[in-house]
A and B are shown apart, each in its own frame.
Chain A
Amino acid sequence: MQSENPIFVSFCGVSTEDEFLLITVIKLLAHEGKIFKVIDNHSQSHLLVIDFDVESGKRDFKRSRDGQVKLLIGDRKYSGKNLISVLKPFEITSLKEIFANLYEKMFMQLELARKKSPRVGGLSRNSTHVLTDTVFHLLLSTKENKDHVCIGSEGYPDILVDGENKSITTTASTKDLDHIIRKPLFEHNVQKLKGSNLSNKEGKISPLYNVLWMSALSCSHGQLLPGHKSSEPVKLKAWPNFTRNGFKPEYFKLAAILAQRPVALSDLENLTQVPYAEIVNFYNAAYSVDLIEKNFDNLDAKVTERKVSAKKKSLLGKIADRLGFGLQKLNAVDA
Chain B
Amino acid sequence: MDKIIFTGPVGAGKTTAIGSISETVPVGTDVNCTDESRAIKQKTTVAMDYSYITLEDGMRIHLYGTPGQERFNFMWDILTKGGIGLVILINRDNPSPIEQMDYYLDAFQSFISDTGVVIGITRSGLNDNASLENFQQRLLERNQVFPVFEIDARSSDDVSILIHALMAVLQV
Give the distance in Å from the alpha carbon of A255 to the alpha carbon of B169 in the complex.
9
A253 on the B face (CB < 8 A): yes
| Interface contact A317-B167, CB-CB below 8 Å | yes
Binds A, one of B55-63, B65-73, B92-100: B55-63
Q: Which of B148, B156, B161, B165 is in CB contact (< 8 Å) with A238?
A: B148
Q: Which of A257, A260, A319 is in CB contact (< 8 Å) with B61?
A: A319
The total of chain A residues at the interface (CB under 8 A) is 36
The interface residues of chain A lying within 8 Å CB-to-CB of B53 are: 319, 322-323
Given that A239-B147, A243-B151, A328-B157 are known contacts, is A323 also in contact with B164, CB under 8 Å in the complex? Answer: yes
B150 on the A face (CB < 8 A): yes
Give the distance in Å from the alpha carbon of A237 to the alpha carbon of B144 in the complex.
9
The interface residues of chain A lying within 8 Å CB-to-CB of B61 are: 319, 322
* Chain A residues numbered 230-259 whose CB sits less than 8 Å from any CB in chain B: 235-239, 241-244, 249, 252-253, 255-257, 259
| Interface contact B57-A318, CB-CB below 8 Å | yes
Q: Which of B157, B167, B169 is in CB contact (< 8 Å) with A319?
A: B167
A23 on the B face (CB < 8 A): no
A105 on the B face (CB < 8 A): no
| Interface contact B164-A320, CB-CB below 8 Å | yes
B101 on the A face (CB < 8 A): no
Other A-B pairs beyond A238-B148, A244-B149, A257-B172, 11, CB < 8 Å: A237-B140, A239-B145, A239-B147, A243-B162, A252-B165, A252-B168, A255-B147, A316-B171, A319-B167, A323-B21, A323-B164
10 chain-A/chain-B pairs, Cβ below 8 angstroms: A237-B136, A242-B149, A243-B149, A255-B147, A259-B145, A312-B170, A313-B171, A319-B61, A319-B163, A322-B56
Residues of A near any B CB (own CB < 8 A): 235-239, 241-244, 249, 252-253, 255-257, 259-260, 305-306, 308, 312-313, 315-326, 328-329
